[in-house]
Structure formats: structure tokens, C-alpha cells
Amino acid sequence: QLQLVESGGDSVQAGGSLRLSCTASGSAAARTYYMGWFRQTPEKEREGIATIYTQGGDTYYADSIKGRFTVSLDSAKNTLYLQMNSLQPEDSAMYYCAADGAPQEGIYYKIGGVLVQYAYWGQGTQVTVSS
């Protein structure tokens, strides 16, 4: 199993920045190849916005956030980050992190051209951007 806990969500003004964190724990951490960030509002389906290949550091982004958000991983701390800059009201959402590592389980998402089956999910952290 793998437990994911997000933090760092907050309310900010448009143009501001936030850094989200996602700490992973559990025996499945060693079998994880991709970790990603997703967001969802009540009006929209969950959107995959960034993912990172944990074994090599390659990153992939959705067009909607490319150039403003950066995903990174501190393997020593088992922590995934999402640095969000130039935030806009349309970035307001619940943000989730997720990871693969459970073969034949989870939901498929394609982020930046990379299709991954995400099996483990955190509970989310709320980001609110006001104009």
C-alpha cells in the first residue's frame, strides 16, 4: 500500500504563488514509477496537470499549466512538490496527488502525452485564487 498526504493549499490573490507538497509512505513506494498532480472543481472532471517519472526525473505537463507550474520530487523525503506561479482564479480547485505502483489497478490518465494508471490517491488540498 501507499499513503499520500497533500499539504500547502491556501487562499491567494491572482498573480501569487503556492507550493503544494505530497508526502508518500508505505511499502508500495519502491514500486512507484510515476507520481502526478491533479485538480478538480465541482463543475469539471478531474484534470491531470503534471506528472514526473520517479526513476529518472522526466516531467510532463498539461497545456493548461505549462510554463507556470513545476513538478519536482525529493526522493530522500519521499515528497512530491508542485510549485505554482502566476496563479489565476481559474486555478482554484482541489488539488490531488497520485501514484502508480499497483499493476492492473487504478485510473488511466494521459498527461503531456504519457499514459499512466494511477492507483493511489491522496485526500486533496484546496487552492483558492481570488481576483
pLDDT digits (tens, 9 = 90+) for 25-67: 987 777 889 999 999 999 999 999 999 999 999 999 999 999 9
Q: 74: which 3 cell numbers? A: 525529493
Q: 71: which 3 cell numbers? A: 513538478
Distance CA 110, CA 114 (A): 5
Q: Can you give the pLDDT at residue 30?
A: 72
Distance CA 6, CA 21 (A): 5
Distance CA 8, CA 37 (A): 13
Cβ neighbours for 67, distance < 8 A, ≥ 6 positions apart: none
> How buried is 95 (Cβ within 10 angstroms: 0-12 exposed, 13-18 middle, 19+ buried)?
buried
pLDDT band at residue 72 using 50, 70 and 90 as cut-offs? very high
Q: For residue 84, is pLDDT > 80?
A: yes
